[in-house]
Every structure is written in C-alpha cells, then in structure tokens.
Chain A
Amino acid sequence: MKIKFFLSLIAFVLLGSLTFSQVSVVNAVSNSLQTNPITGPITSAVHILKGRVGIRIGKFIFPAIGVSVNATNTSSASASVVTTRINSQGEYSFNLKEGSYNVSIKDLPHVDFLINEKFVQLNQDRANIDFLGVLR
C-alpha cells in the first residue's frame, strides 16, 4: 500500500511539473510579444470597415437588422453592399482595399437616419462607422 501511494505521489509530481511548465510557454510568447521591437507596420491586404446600425427609441438604442449599407470607392466608384447581421447587434462589416469611401445608408419606412452618408479614408487595418436612426 505504501509503495502504491509513493508511486502515485511521484507520478503526480511528474505530471504536475509538466502541466505547470505550460506557464513558461504562455509567458514566453507573451513576453516576446511585449519586448520584441516593432520593425515595421503589420501589413494586411484587406482593410476592415465595420460598424453598427441602431435605432433610438426613447432612451434605448436597438440594433437595426437587415439594413443595407453601401460603401462606394470615391475614385473608382465601385460599390459594395452588405446587410446588417442577424445577431441582435445590428453589425455590418466590409472587406475593402485601401482608399477613400462614402458609406451610406437609406432611410427605412419608419426610420430616419440622422446622418445618411459618411466619408472614410481607409488606410489602416480597421475603421468603424456607426449609423443611428430615429423613429418618424
């Protein structure tokens, strides 16, 4: 019985040490991210334009779902359209090339948007543009 207990203890100490060694794995990666010099910007082929469409009712802002958002490139005039997602948050997102864009949204049957069109210069990885509507 004593031998069994002793062997179990050794096995646990060995396994436990191996398990805790993961702490150094996590720390090593995290430290390298913190201490390595950044030699250049992280480039990405795509730029993300995202945001939310909401409707204000009283003091509350509710997500607007299924609303079409347009992004038109000001130089090439190429247009992209997405619809706010059905995830209860009224989110939309575009995958676009670098450039300047007019982002627009159309009024809904019973909703007026305070600002229908916004301009964005997309030269960083992400940009965020929200739209807010009010009930007529």
Chain B
Amino acid sequence: MIIIYTVTFLLFFLPLLVLPLSNFIFESSKVILAEILIELLLIFTLFRYPLSKLKASLIRFWPLLGLLLLTTADLILYPSPTSFFGNSFRLQGIFLLWHLMFFSFLSVNIELDQKLKLIYPISLVALFLGTLILGENDAQRAIGTLGEPNALAACVIFIWPFAFLIPPSSKKVYKLLIILISLAIILLSGSRSGLLAILIQLVFIALTKFKPQSLGKFTLVALILIAASLILPVKEGGGWYENRSEVWTTATSAGLQSPILGWGFGNLEYALKQASSLLGNNIRYQYVDSSHNFLLDYWVQGGVLGASLILIIITLSLKGLIKKRNRLLISAFVGVLTVMSFNPVSVVTLLAFWFLIGQGLSSE
C-alpha cells in the first residue's frame, strides 16, 4: 500500500506543491521531493522484495539498462557543471533521469485504476483552483501550481483521462464537467500543444469507445496525428523567443555534430548554444536548455544510441499497453507524447511519462 500511495502522490498531488521559498516555489521543490520519495520507494522495494524477483523484472527493462549505461558513460566522457544535476532552473540532469528510470521500474505492478477513484477529479479540480488563484505570467498565460503555462497544460493532459475514464459517478454531467475543467485550464494557460493533445486524446477515446477491438489501429492513428502536427510550428515560422522551428533546426544540427553518442546527457544547453552560433540564428542570444521535443533532446544528448533507446522504450511500452488493452493508459500516453513533442516539460510530466513506460513494460 505504501508504494501505491507514494506513486499516487507523485503522479496526482506533486503537481499541486507550491513552496513559499524564493528559489523553490515551483519546479525545484517538486524535483527534490520527487527524488526523495523515489529513493524511499527504492529502499522500501529492495528491503521488501526478494532480489530474484527483481532480477526477473529487470530483463524486461533492458532498454532502460542501456540508457543507464549510456548516461553513466556520459558522466565520464562528457562531464560538465550541468551533467549530473542539470541546470538550477529545472534540475533535469542525469541524477533525475536515473530516479525516473527507477520510478518506472518500481511502479511496474501498480494498478491505479483499481484504487481511490476520487483522487483523480480532486487532483484536477485542485489544479483548476490553483490556476485561478496563482494568476498569470508576463504573457498573461495562467501558470497554476506548475509555474509555467505549458507545464500546467501538460499536467492536465495526463490527469484528465483518469478522471474521465474512471468516473466515481455514473452521471453524464460528471464527464462533461471533467472535459470542461480540463479545457478551461488549457485555454487559460494558452498552450497550443495542450489543446492539440486533448483533441487527439478525445478523438482516440471516442474512436476506441465505438470500436474497442481496433485499439492498436487507433493508437497508430493518434501517433500519426502527433507526427503530422509537428509540421505546425514549422509552418507558423516567426516568433521571437524559443521559436520551435528554429530550436528544432538548431537541435538537429547540434546532434549531427556528435551523431553516435551525442553531447552527453545534461549538456543540452551547451550543444544548442554552439550549434546556434554556427548557424547564426537567434538561439545564440537566448538561454535555451531544451530542444522543445523529447526525441530531439535524446538525439542531441545521446546521439543515435540515445534516440534509438528512447524510441525502443516507447514502442515496447505502447505495444505492451495495447496487448493489455489498456485504453486509459494509452490515451494518457498519447497526450503526454504530444506535449513532450513541443515543449520542455516539468518533472511532473516526466514522472507521468516514466510511469506509463513502466506500466507498458510490465508483464502482467
């Protein structure tokens, strides 16, 4: 039960954490608390479960082991001030990535849908209240308890399918309310990727409701929609700050400079800075610490090896979820993949992402 409660807290209540401490209001406090709780989970699991059982589970997680080896090698081959802990704003270095991979491994046997149905709508409503209370950023976009508009929208994208598909009430108005609250948060945040993600999720949920036997095909449709939507920022062009098409071009170019092993995990900002100087674009005047696309992040940091490993992990995980016919987790996964394709994400969404991977890779 301790494991279930901890995982539930990390996924649905960590997003609500806001500390009134100057440097730790939003993201850093969430990262540190998440890491501490994952460490507790790890110690508890090692203490509780026989090693033989853990060894058997490890075989299914071989791509994660590959990533673990790659990141360890990076610490030796490409050390930098941000490799291990990441930069001070996000703390998304190798240390956090290791924790997330362990979290993925440790949450294998958790079945959230069987427990505590009220948790999901409570979390969503609390997020909505936080959005109303905590106001907006300079661009008049709601930041909520996440401190950043796109991170707020990404968080909703993971939570709402749980509140929608595991309803504590059978009344139709409940489901309508969940959609309206989710849309309200996303619209207040002004996150286009969030809006796109919820639309893809709604299409997926609607299609699989009418033809549940074609879950695999509809998952493929959702993935094609995500891939097709990547053209939107390129088509839009323009934009003054962290322009996606410009960042993507810079990231692609940075990866090509070190295509096999990449620049090392945690070294993204240096790679982007150097590539932008060569390309002579606007990124060189900005502090950009993300490619605004998770796959490009892995490409820049881990080269072909890193990008292939994360693709294998996602493919195996989605296949596992399709095999288990888990419509809820696939819809959450599709949404998370969409937002991760356009934005740097909070630790909250990274936890959701690695949790979904763990669920997909588990055998049962």
Q: Are B39 and A86 in contact (CB under 8 A)?
A: no
Partner of B32 from the list A23, A50, A82, A88 (CB cut-off 8 Å) is: A23
**Which A1-56 residues have C-beta < 8 A from chain B?**
4-5, 8, 11-12, 15-16, 18-20, 22-23, 25-30, 44-46, 48, 50, 52
Extra pairs beyond A27-B23, A82-B238, A85-B236 (19, CB < 8 Å): A5-B47, A8-B43, A8-B46, A15-B42, A18-B95, A19-B32, A22-B85, A25-B88, A25-B91, A44-B285, A46-B285, A48-B240, A52-B140, A87-B190, A89-B141, A93-B240, A94-B240, A95-B239, A95-B240
Q: How far is the CB of B50 from chain A (nearest CB, A)?
A: 11
- In the complex, B139 has a CB within 8 A of chain A: yes
- Per-residue contact bits, chain A 66-77, to B (CB 8 Å; 1 contact, 0 not): 000000000000
Q: Are A25 and B85 in contact (CB under 8 A)?
A: yes
With contacts A16-B36, A95-B282 taken as known, whether A50 is within 8 angstroms of B192 at the C-beta atoms is no
Q: Which residues of A contact B190 (CB under 8 A)?
A: 87-89
Q: Hey, which bits of chain B sit against chain A, CB under 8 A?
A: 22-24, 28, 31-32, 35-36, 39-40, 42-43, 46-47, 85, 87-88, 91, 95, 139-141, 187, 190-192, 195, 236, 238-241, 282, 285
Q: Hey, which bits of chain A sit against chain B, CB under 8 A?
A: 4-5, 8, 11-12, 15-16, 18-20, 22-23, 25-30, 44-46, 48, 50, 52, 82, 85-89, 91, 93-95
Partner of A26 from the list B28, B35, B36 (CB cut-off 8 Å) is: B28
The docked-state distance in angstroms from the alpha carbon of A15 to that of B91 is 16
**Which of A23, A26, A46 gathers the greatest number of chain B CB atoms within 10 Å?**
A26
Nearest chain B residue, comparing its CB with the CB of A27: B23
Q: Are B282 and A22 in contact (CB under 8 A)?
A: no
With contacts A26-B28, A86-B192, A93-B239 taken as known, whether A15 is within 8 angstroms of B285 at the C-beta atoms is no
With contacts A88-B187, A89-B190, A93-B239 taken as known, whether A46 is within 8 angstroms of B282 at the C-beta atoms is yes
Q: How many A-B residue pairs have CB under 8 A?
A: 76
Q: Are B240 and A4 in contact (CB under 8 A)?
A: no
With contacts A22-B85, A91-B139 taken as known, whether A45 is within 8 angstroms of B285 at the C-beta atoms is yes
Q: Are A19 and B238 in contact (CB under 8 A)?
A: no
Q: Which residues of A contact B87 (CB under 8 A)?
A: 29
Q: Are B23 and A30 in contact (CB under 8 A)?
A: yes
Q: Are B240 and A29 in contact (CB under 8 A)?
A: no
The docked-state distance in angstroms from the alpha carbon of A85 to that of B236 is 9
Q: How far is the CB of B39 from chain A (nearest CB, A)?
A: 5
Q: Are A93 and B238 in contact (CB under 8 A)?
A: yes
Nearest chain A residue, comparing its CB with the CB of B243: A95
Nearest chain B residue, comparing its CB with the CB of A9: B43
Q: How far is the CB of A17 from chain B (nearest CB, A)?
A: 11
Partner of B35 from the list A19, A48, A91 (CB cut-off 8 Å) is: A19
The docked-state distance in angstroms from the alpha carbon of A44 to that of B238 is 18
Partner of B39 from the list A16, A25, A26, A45 (CB cut-off 8 Å) is: A16
With contacts A22-B85, A25-B85 taken as known, whether A48 is within 8 angstroms of B241 at the C-beta atoms is yes
Q: How far is the CB of A11 from chain B (nearest CB, A)?
A: 6
Q: Which residues of A contact B39 (CB under 8 A)?
A: 12, 15-16, 19
Q: Are B47 and A4 in contact (CB under 8 A)?
A: yes
Q: How far is the CB of B79 from chain A (nearest CB, A)?
A: 15
The docked-state distance in angstroms from the alpha carbon of A30 to that of B91 is 13
Q: Which residues of B contact A88 (CB under 8 A)?
A: 187, 190, 195
Give 6 closest A-B pairs by Cβ, nearest first. Answer: A29-B88, A48-B240, A15-B39, A30-B23, A19-B35, A26-B88
Nearest chain B residue, comparing its CB with the CB of A29: B88
Q: Which residues of A contact B140 (CB under 8 A)?
A: 52, 89
Q: Which residues of B contact A5 (CB under 8 A)?
A: 47
The docked-state distance in angstroms from the alpha carbon of A45 to that of B47 is 57
Q: Which residues of B contact A19 (CB under 8 A)?
A: 32, 35-36, 39, 95
Q: Which residues of B contact A8 (CB under 8 A)?
A: 43, 46-47
With contacts A27-B23, A30-B88, A46-B285 taken as known, whether A22 is within 8 angstroms of B240 at the C-beta atoms is no
Q: Which residues of B contact A95 (CB under 8 A)?
A: 238-240, 282
Partner of A22 from the list B32, B191, B239 (CB cut-off 8 Å) is: B32
With contacts A8-B43, A20-B32, A93-B240 taken as known, whether A87 is within 8 angstroms of B192 at the C-beta atoms is yes
Q: Which residues of A contact B238 (CB under 8 A)?
A: 82, 93, 95
The docked-state distance in angstroms from the alpha carbon of A44 to that of B31 is 32
With contacts A19-B36, A22-B31 taken as known, whether A11 is within 8 angstroms of B187 at the C-beta atoms is no
The docked-state distance in angstroms from the alpha carbon of A86 to that of B91 is 32
